[in-house]
Every structure is written in C-alpha cells, then in structure tokens.
Amino acid sequence: MEKKQSVAVNALTYGLITGAVVIVYSLLMYIANLYMNKWVSSISYLFLLGGMVWGTLEYRKKTDNGFMTYGQAFTSSFIIGMIAGVLVTIYSFIFIQYINPGMINEIIEQARVQMQDKNLTEDQIEAALDMTRKFTTPGLMTVFGLGAYALVSAILGLIAAIFLKKPDPNAPTSAL
C-alpha cells in the first residue's frame, strides 16, 4: 500500500527551496546594481512559478498513484508560493532594515523622477511623496509584501493547477 505524503511537508520543502532561489536572485540583482529595475525584479515571479510547478509535480508523483485533482494542485501550488513568500518577505525586511536601509530613499527618489516625468507641479509631487513615505517603512513593506505574495501565489496557483491536475479516470464522478 502506497503511503500518501503530506501536502504540508512537500510544500514546506519546495517553498523553502523556491524562497531560497528568489533570495539568491535578489542578492545577485543587488550586487549587479539592478535591484531597482522593475523588469529585472519581475523575473523572480518566474522562479516562484517554477518552484510551484516543480513542487506540485513532485507531490503528484508521490501521491494517489500520480493522480491529482484541480483542488489538490491549487492547494499544493498556493502553499508552496506562500511559504516562499514568507521566507522572501522576512529576507526583504532584513535587507531593507539592516543591509540597505537607504533603499527607502532610493524608492522615494525613483517615485519623484516618475512624477516629474508626468509634469506634476512641485506641490503635487511633495504631497504624493509624503504619502509614499508613510507607506515605505520596513514594517509596512513587509505587510504589503506578504499580501502581494498571497495574491500572486493564488493567481499563479489557479492558472498552474489547470495544467498540473491529472484526474484519475477510475475515480467516481458526481452528477450535478
């Protein structure tokens, strides 16, 4: 009789691996001075998706004779994404608080440049930057980071589960 692996154990393993890969990528972008480039930073979402898919495929191989429902595929993918997100968010807090505390000023300056490109008045820019400063503290950025990872993990999980599911042809079907 095949022993069914826990989705939590599998998700923890692949979530930690995925989070570590995203952190290493972030550090490489910091060393290369590309960490403020939004396009380059968004590549980390491909690593997140890759880890979610890889972990869910491994989970599918180890349970239910290789079959998986859409719900199981989503649950696995989402939990992997959330574990990776928690790890990356903790790293981000440490990075912003201790490694590069000047990053907040860089974010605000980048926002200033973007607003100047939109021909806003200096008063409008200062009002917007005051609001930006209120939301760019390490603590609030951590909270927003967790929320963003939850949303992105849910969206990527919903999409990935479409391709990762593998229904058991012998499973009973329910009539609706």
Region of residue 157 (left: phi > 0; alpha: psi -120 to 50; beta: else): alpha
Kind plus residue range of the DSSP H or E element containing 84: helix 70-94
pLDDT score of 144 more than 90? yes
Q: What CA–CA distances, in Å, run from 130 to 14, 38, 112, 117? A: 40, 22, 11, 18
Q: What is the length of the chain? A: 176
Distance CA 107, CA 113 (A): 10
pLDDT score of 175 more than 80? no
Confidence label for 65 from pLDDT (cuts 50, 70 and 90): confident
Distance CA 110, CA 121 (A): 16
Q: 67-122 pLDDT, tens per residue?
A: 999 999 999 999 999 999 999 999 999 999 999 989 999 989 988 888 888 888 88
Return the structure tokens found at 50.
């890759």
- Measured N-to-C along each axis, helices 70-94 and 44-62 cross at an angle, to the nearest 10 degrees, of 140
Confidence label for 174 from pLDDT (cuts 50, 70 and 90): low
pLDDT score of 149 more than 80? yes
Query: What's this model's pTM, rounded to 2 decimal places?
Result: 0.88
pLDDT (average), residues 33-48: 91
Distance CA 164, CA 166 (A): 6
pLDDT (average), residues 153-160: 98
- CA 22 to mean position of chain CA atoms: 9
